[in-house]
Structure 1
Amino acid sequence: MTYLPYLFGERSPYFDASLSGGIFGLKAHHQQSDIIRAVMEGIAFSLRNVYENMGIEKNKIEKFRVTGGVVKNPFWLQIFADIFKAEIEILSFDEGPAYGAMLCAVAGIQEEDLFIRWQQANRVKAIYKPTEQASFYEKAYKTFVELSLSQVENTFPSTKRKEIINK
């Protein structure tokens, strides 16, 4: 089952407000938990799709630090680790955007001691590593991208469609 999370269109990487969300492959035997899992996977696939379209493949990120509400869900964090094929680190101090802004400010001061002290104060409290499930997710991700592109093919004029598909 594949979920496309385009309930309000998609900003990136397709920039098309007319894309639609949907669940593909849903059968009578699926349960509510299967649908919930598909939604969680679809959101993670969408974020990977954005990441891959940023054009930074040369410098593949091997570790991501994640903040916000998702850190309260170990199951979802493992899904992210498997889909991104990267370690997901959770910090002991989770204040999301405020923490990121503060880190930028500390780094901007260019006092290495201050930056190191702050890193020591906010240690990694959990790490999620890719499991054997990552190979399953690789196939599922390809399906996600194909379904997404099939919508793009049907909504964009042919010139824009070729530009997006040939990325």
Structure 2
Amino acid sequence: MQLTLERGDITTVATDAIVNAANSSLLGGGGVDGAIHAAAGPRLLEACRELRRSTLPDGLPVGEAVATPGFDLPAAWVIHTVGPNRHAGETDPGLLSSCFTRSLDVAADLRARTVAFPAVSAGVYGWAPDDVARIALEAVRSWDEANPAAVDEVRFVLFNDSLLTSFQQALAAV
């Protein structure tokens, strides 16, 4: 698997799938979630409402992932994952790791060859960017070792220089 880091806007990335740092309601929010919903258009919200009506009446659990079409995005799919919220006492790194591995499981099920991730939980959910970077990169590498050739490329698309630096340092350390 090719792994790349870049500063950018995940809503403009032309990959098979992008990962949304969603909240459990799946009904949009701020940060990456709000940007993805805005760029994908109103059909994304309707698809998320249908998931809530049909298979996820209580919302998407922390650490899990589910896909919808990308609608107006360049990506064919949006994989929604709910990161742990440190401010709410969700401090288990295993939950954060699961966001990345479960998202890759969903990507593989969709036969997505290229996947773009944001820094899940590094924003309003209060996780330190250095911790997110280390956990994310370890999770992706472990997943790739267990599932060789399932996904060709993972791109971490980070919205500011500080996040990019954290990921670059974590990548250099492993």
Normalised TM-score (structure 1): 0.30
Highest RCO, 1 vs 2 (Cα 8 Å, sep ≥ 6): 2
TM-score by length of 2: 0.29
